[in-house]
Amino acid sequence: MEEIDEVRALLKSLPRPTSLAERRDRLDTVASAYGVAPDIAFERVRIGHCEAEWSLAPGSDPGRVLLYFHGGGYCSGSIRSHRGMVSETGRAAGVRTLALGYRLAPEHPFPAALEDAVAAVEYLLRIGIPAGQIAIGGDSAGGGLTLATMIRLRDAGRPLPACAWLVSPWVDLEMTGASIDTKDADDPLIHRTYLQELAGAYCGGETPRDPLISPVHADLRGLPPALVQVGSAETLLDDAVAIVERFGEADVAVTLEVWPRMIHAWHLWSARLSAGRQAIASAGAYIGTRLAT
């Protein structure tokens, strides 16, 4: 059995949830199945409405920070679900990480998560972390939130992070990309009907074409350089390709990595998946070389 097939088996071993509470618990369970390294130091902090968590690996620079927004379709996911992925990327980049537990839909629809994300950037600036020493990133919905945060900061004339890291980004809540259907049989996690439910919960009464909800429609000029990573077995493959094209149209430096056979946000299972460790190493190198020292 190949490593990715072991992860697929893990995902299939738990029944599909029927309620929001079960969905949230399932993601926390499957994404944190392999735990975290014992040498990572964690510290909780509160930012506005939200809990957040610092992580620091031995030898990493606490003065350079990766601010991370978890995935989960804006309705699930947590600091717990993404703790291993975030802390290991901090180790690979040689930086401290700050994972934000932003408010979730449907209890808190758009723009609550965006307000929380912007507040987290402002928090870092307020405690003395210069923008040039901040990277910002996220997977799935967290990738879309990363883009929306940078757009909001740019439009407000606020300092922008040095770079962005987008993993399997969900940037089109209308789901117009062909891969949402052509990759449906390959993707064990993300399907059209599921995404439609999440999009409705997040948008509330707003149109999914709002550029701060679906950044594929946004003007990306003036944003910092970005690394986009996506798996070839994902229904969101076309989201990643589309946002890379938008970066190119805006004359923003962007790097696209398409990882063969990988599923949505495969980094979450890097403890058992060499391609996850390699993708994290690539992201760490990208972030580490772009942050000021």
| Positions marked active-site | 140, 234, 264
Query: What whole-number distance in Å separates Cα of residue 200 and Cα of residue 206?
Result: 9
Query: What whole-number distance in Å separates Cα of residue 240 and Cα of residue 224?
Result: 17
The CA-based angle 146-260-266, given to 5 degrees, is: 45
CA atoms within 13 A on the CB side of 293: 6
Contact in structure between 291 and 135 (CB atoms under 8 Å): yes
Could you tell me the two tokens for 40?
């990572």
Widest Cα–Cα separation across the chain: 51
- Among residues 183, 162, 279, the alpha carbon closest in space to that of 239 is found at 183
